[in-house]
Amino acid sequence: MFGTSGIRGPVGETVTGSLALDLGRGLGSMTDRIVVGRDPRESGDALARAAIAGAQEAGTDAVDLGVESTPTVARAVEWYDADAGLVVTASHNPPADNGFKFWTREGRAFDAEATGTLSTRVEDSGEATVPPPEMGSVSRVDDASRRHLDRLPTGDLDSLSVVVDVGNGAGGLTADALLALGCDVTTLDAQRDGSFPGRPSEPTAENCGTLTTVVAATGADLGVAHDGDADRTMAVDETGRFLTGDELLALFAGETVPAGADVAAPINASAVLDAVVEERGGSVVRTAVGDGHVAAACTDQGVAFGGEPSGAWIWPDEALCPDGHYAACRLAALVAAGPPLSDRVAALPTYVTKRESVRCGDKAAVVAEAESRTRSRYDDVTDLDGVRVDVDDGWFLVRASGTQPLVRLTAEARTERRAEELLAEAAALAGRESPIEGA
């Protein structure tokens, strides 16, 4: 039921009101009080109400936050003295999808143990109901965004011009936070609309063409973009170039953490991160793909930052959830301090990273076969998440997507030609002559 980041899928098929009710009952049987929020998707209100009803039936009180970003809900668990948080969101998926993310009191995504317990409780959710006099209550609050804003960085960035692409999602708090810092802020697609009419919800280079154009045309210093629930933040430099997630990961790791500190990142992150962190006397702690795995590594002493190339950034001293609003403020402060973002990126070591996907029916079987083949051909094989092979001049990875019927392929080397060769080798090991879909 659970993928790398909660549950998500088409509404009416994978995600239903019945499932939301069962999840609410299951979560309610584990807690006394929960907070519930949602992104602007049209199905979100009904699903949130069903989940709240389920929690009430299990005797649990619910605090309804309404439409809020995922990081706001994750942080709000502690603010409203709750035991857990639930966000109704499909993150960067298409409008027809929805889903559920779960958060601990510490603002950390449910780990495997917690999701396992919840799965068991959901199976037995019919037994979790209590008599009417013992049902939980519901309270509605409207100050979660203000409380979040109060906890974001302060300062004076009045020389900075920033374009914020909200993507019609729940991330409008970023514009408020940057305005409070004194920035000159222009917003794109700031109206909440769960059909995402401005652009697809995922903040990729292909989807953020308007942002890159506006930044370049207006002479802005920085552009930032969120996904539907604003746990992801991506960036555009002052020339209008969309930064890759690996570049942004390396910049954050090299510029916002103390020298000598360790950094957590998934197994599919670029070697540019290792180069930057090791130069500063630290090391990279590799995890399985998924911000929950990165957050778990961030609880280890010595890990000062964690991130994923997809745009999830975690500073554990601040919060254990990926907070797109906080990340945007940290990035704005970097740019304001100079040099320009394009110069910072140009100073990074150069690697060529290729990411593609193979669509298949049984992704687990494909990855298992790929692992069997690699172990007979290569010496340096890692099976932390899928199978990664390191060679003298690069590496490649074959892993199953946690949310879609895809096998993800990643390859990296110092040159374009070698990266293409390694990607082709990964595709062959996955049982295809070549990848068939962009990652």
CA-based angle 276:278:279, to the nearest 5?
A: 65
**Whether residue 405 has a cis bond before it, omega within 30° of 0:** no
- What's the rounded Cα separation, in Å, for the pair 407 and 122? 29
Sequence letter at residue 326: Y
Q: Distance from CA of residue 275 to its chain's centroid? A: 23
Q: Distance from CA of residue 417 to its chain's centroid? A: 31
Q: Which of 29, 43, 69, 91 is catalytic?
A: 91
User: Where do the domains of the chain lie?
Assistant: 7-145, 152-346, 352-438
* 91 assigned to active site: yes
- Do 152-346 and 352-438 agree at the fold level? no
Q: Is the dihedral of CA 9, 11, 14, 18 positive or negative?
A: positive
Per the DSSP assignment, residues forming a β-bridge with 265 are 286
CA-based angle 212:215:220, to the nearest 5?
A: 155
CATH architecture designation of domain 152-346: 3-Layer(aba) Sandwich (3.40)
Closest CA to 147 of 207, 225, 81, 49: 81
Beta carbons of 406 and 437 less than 8 angstroms apart: yes
Along the 439 residues of the chain, how does pLDDT read in single tens digits? 676 678 999 999 999 999 999 999 999 999 999 999 999 999 999 999 999 999 999 999 999 999 999 999 999 999 999 999 999 999 999 999 999 999 999 999 999 899 999 999 999 887 889 999 999 999 999 999 999 999 999 989 988 999 999 999 999 999 999 999 999 999 999 999 999 999 999 999 999 999 999 999 999 999 999 999 999 999 999 999 999 999 999 999 999 999 999 999 999 999 999 999 999 999 999 999 989 999 999 999 899 999 999 999 999 999 999 999 999 999 999 999 999 999 999 999 999 999 898 888 789 888 998 888 888 889 899 999 999 999 999 999 999 987 678 899 999 999 999 999 999 999 988 876 444 554 4
Please give the class, per CATH, of domain 352-438.
Answer: alpha beta
End-to-end CA distance of the chain: 23
Q: Is the dihedral of CA 400, 306, 165, 194 positive or negative?
A: positive
Quickly count: other Cβ atoms within 10 Å of residue 122's Cβ. Answer: 20
Tally of CA atoms within 13 A in the half-sphere of 115 that contains its CB: 17
Tally of CA atoms within 13 A in the half-sphere of 352 that contains its CB: 12
CA-based max dimension of the chain: 69
Task: Say yes or no: domain 7-145 is CATH 3.40.120.10.
Answer: yes
